[in-house]
Structure 1
Amino acid sequence: MKNPFSYTSIVRGDAFCNRQAEQEELLRFINASQNVLLYSHRRFGKSSLIYKLFSRLERQRPKIDTLYVELYGTLSEKDFVSAILTSLNQVETKLEKLAKLVQSAIRTVRLGMSIDPVTGSPGVSVSFDSDYNETMLNNVLGLLGRISENRKLMVVFDEFQEIAEYKQGGFEKRLRAIIQQHSNISYFFCGSQRHILTEIFTNRNRAFYKLAQSYPMDKIQSRHYLPWAKKLFLKAGREIEVGIIEEVVSRCENHPMYVQQYLFYLWEEKNSEFSIDTVDKIEMRILESSHNEFLNLWDSLTLNQKKTLKLIILTGGRDMFYAKALQTVDLNAGSQVTRALEKLVRSDVVIKNANFQFQDVMFKKWIETYLS
């Protein structure tokens, strides 16, 4: 049996762990054409959940069509429009109809058309015959509105925080004005940079204020991981003690990607019995494979940021401002920690929930292993 665990790509099929409550609630929002702000920390399985929803919407009756628009790397409103246009092959698979669809929205657009030799689906590349103008945003989103007159749509804008860097004046206001008219589309605004997304959707002075239902994704609970992992091993006729799975989940602090990675390597072990020593060996393998990445990140930090990270490890992210705690890492004032934390949170190295935590649990383990 093929290794069922996956940590480098979209997780599908048996490798997808639970998220049942999230699926049901999000499907209710989609079927009611409500807008959702879906955000999580990096590698929490956000994209895998989206594609799980796509799969369920494909099977349900009446079916809801889906459109996934990747905004990562877009720099302007023009790039935003191009990203939508190049994604339209997901809702129209016939080449001639797709060409007419795009050109009906923007007459000055030049299309490059191709056929995927594996899937047979049409592909689109876009260039503009003339300078971009603001009416193109209205035309392209108006096209989505016309499509939704005959069928419900779910439109996903992934890495939506990219729009915060667009320089075109009034972009957010114009985008909101159009989206508000689409009563048969559920828009999902997704991303991993929580502080930017929160600013866009909760600042009363921003156009997107309260436009979408906020839906933060949390870690998967241990009670879901244990039966799921054990079942996959049993499916291949392999026994694994619940205690070993608990150890993996605990070390990963329930982080979805790392749980998958540990279990992937456990599966590759040829021994019939798994032990804590096996888990130790896998942990070192993961740390060694990430050594250069973590070293570069560490080297990019200021001295006070490095000290603050060690302070989080020593205190568990709580009671960090007491003089005794500061002295353990040779810091003189709480203001130094405050400034360091602001930058660490902004760069997604640290997250703040009930206490301050590492966004990447393996980066924390790397510091504990190599720098303590």
Structure 2
Amino acid sequence: MKELNPFITKGYVSKDLFCNRETELKILENNFNNNIDTTLISPRRMGKTGLIYRFFDLLNNKNGDFITIYADIFSSRSLEDFIKLLAEAILHYYPEKTFFGRKFLQIIKGFRPLISYDGITGEPQVSITYQTPQEKELTLRGLFDFFERQDKRVMLAIDEFQQITEYPEKNAEALLRTYIQQLNNVNFIFSGSKTTLMLDIFSNSKRPFFSMTQYLSLKKIDRKTYCDFIVRKFEENKRTIDDSTVNFILDWTLSHTYYTQVLCNRVFSSGRKNVDIQCAKKACAEILQQNEEIYLQYRQLLTAGQWNFLIAIAREERVTQLTAQNFLSKYGIGTPANARRLSKALIDKDLLLSESTVDSVYYQVYDVFFMRWLQEIYSFNFRKPSPESHS
């Protein structure tokens, strides 16, 4: 039997392969028990989806008398897309052969859906034709009413919820809020990776979802906890990894969940029984080499000014004062206004991350592997951009 790599890089397998998040799980469980909806916010790949599935697992193992559904609406561009993805999520978790799936199919027959299944993945695909905007709204209400009428409580997680701000239907937020606030049998996790947009949706007094949820910000896993987890998973597979190597891994990945899992996965896949720093460094080099084509494509898509600004941020690793004179002078960035303009453009492209702490706001390259690649390539041959490249 093939040995299972314990460092999962996508999805959720089991609680044994899930690292910690006990505090966050207690908050989610307490919110659910007290009929409180949750706004879950963190940068991409910090582990939001894994946490949601772990919470579903916890609920169903404690009682099992719940309906748990996860819908990722990242690809949605309209209310019609939202309905489609929600319907597909229901059929994914409760196929038509299940009791709940049959009940769902019966209720949506009135909306004249076309249901098919992907020939490769087997995933359900739902298509509904609308004659008027009112029909679309009735379908959405019908889905929520269906949840409300179930004899089991429903836990519905909607990921990348900030997408609703891009819908052409100007009343999308108000419509969703109107339907959601009438539900007593359904609890929600509204998850998102765009912190500014998510906070505006739920904390702006002029918007429909104002003060409707409790916030939960997902941060990095405690370093000692992550160290212990990594060492334990190697030991469980009759391997060893010394503390200095684990610390090197967490330093190199900035303890960011996804990048840590990927690097540990690569190190584990080497088959080495006794893992040392050289083994970890080799895995780092392999990862950067495999991703190099992607990073070179970024170079073609950015202006010279944007590219050099990213290099500057990468070399500093974390910057708290983008407009500080010493930072501007060191990398030939120009004026504070130019730094602000460049940072906004790169944040909009999801290449630069802006995060707030109690004391300040810091900036870093969003993709940790990309940051390490930039540091590797430009550690000695960085060239200040010419004044005309400030764009």
Could you tell me the TM-score, scaled by structure 1's length? Answer: 0.90
Aligned match for 1:368, one of 361, 375, 381 = 375
For residues 333 and 117 of structure 1, do their structure 2 counterparts lie closer, same or farther at Cα, with a shift above 3 Å needed?
A: closer
Decide whether aligned partners of structure 1 residues 96 and 268 sit closer, same or farther in structure 2, where only a CA change above 3 A counts.
Answer: closer
1:56 aligns with 2:53: no
- Work out whether residues 314 and 372 of structure 2, in 8 Å CA contact, stay in contact via their aligned partners in 1: no
Rate the CA distance shift 1:304–1:116 in 2: closer, same or farther, 3 A. Answer: closer
How do 1:351-362 and structure 2 match up within 5 A? Answer: 351-352=353-354, 353=356, 354=360, 355-362=362-369
Residue 187 (structure 1) aligned with residue 188 (structure 2): yes
Quote the Cα distance in structure 2 between the aligned partners of 1:299 and 1:238.
43
Report matched runs for 1:99-248 at 5 Å: 99-105=102-108, 107-112=110-115, 123=124, 125-128=126-129, 130-131=131-132, 133=135, 134-147=137-150, 150-248=151-249
C-alpha distance 95-239 of structure 1, shift in aligned 2 (>3 A): closer
Question: Per-residue deviation at 1:131?
Answer: 4.6
Give the 3-state SS of the residue equivalent to 1:107 in structure 2: helix
Contact 1:311 1:317 in 2 (8 A): no
Distance 1:212 1:323 in 2: 41
Tell me the secondary structure at the aligned position of residue 244 of structure 2: helix
Deviations 1:238-274 (A, max 9, x none): 1211221111011110011111111112212344433
- Note if contact 2:24-2:216 (Cα within 8 Å) is conserved in structure 1: no
- Write out per-residue CA displacement over residues 109-154 of structure 1, whole angstroms, 9 at most, x where no aligned residue: 22436699999xx95633337455222222221222222xx22110
Q: Counterpart in 1 of 2:33?
A: 31
Matching residue's letter, 1:307: N
Which shows bigger deviation, 343-352 or 225-234?
A: 343-352
Alignment of 1:72-91 (within 5 A): 72-89=74-91, 90-91=93-94
Structure 1 vs Structure 2 CA RMSD: 2.6
Task: State the SS of the aligned residue for 1:3.
Answer: coil
Q: CA deviation at 1:97?
A: 6.3
Match of 2:14 in 1: 12
Question: How much has 1:195 moved relative to structure 2?
Answer: 2.4
Checking the alignment, whether the CA contact within 8 Å between 1:4 and 1:15 is kept in structure 2 is yes
In 2: Cα distance, 1:304 partner to 1:18 partner: 41
Q: Is the 8 A contact 1:106 1:140 kept in 2?
A: no
One-letter identity of the residue aligned with 1:16: F
Give me the TM-score of the superposition, normalised by structure 2: 0.86
Between the aligned residues of both structures, percent identity stands at: 24
Q: Which runs of 5+ in 2 are unaligned?
A: 380-391
Distance of aligned partners of 1:146 and 1:368 in 2 relative to their CA distance in 1, 3 Å threshold: same
Partner SS state of residue 240, structure 2: coil
- Give 1:267's aligned residue: 268
- Partner of 2:54: helix, strand, or coil? helix
Contact persistence 1:195–1:346 (CA under 8 A):
no
Unaligned runs of 5+ in 1: none
CA, structure 1 residues 313+98, in 2 after alignment: closer, same or farther (shift >3 Å)? closer
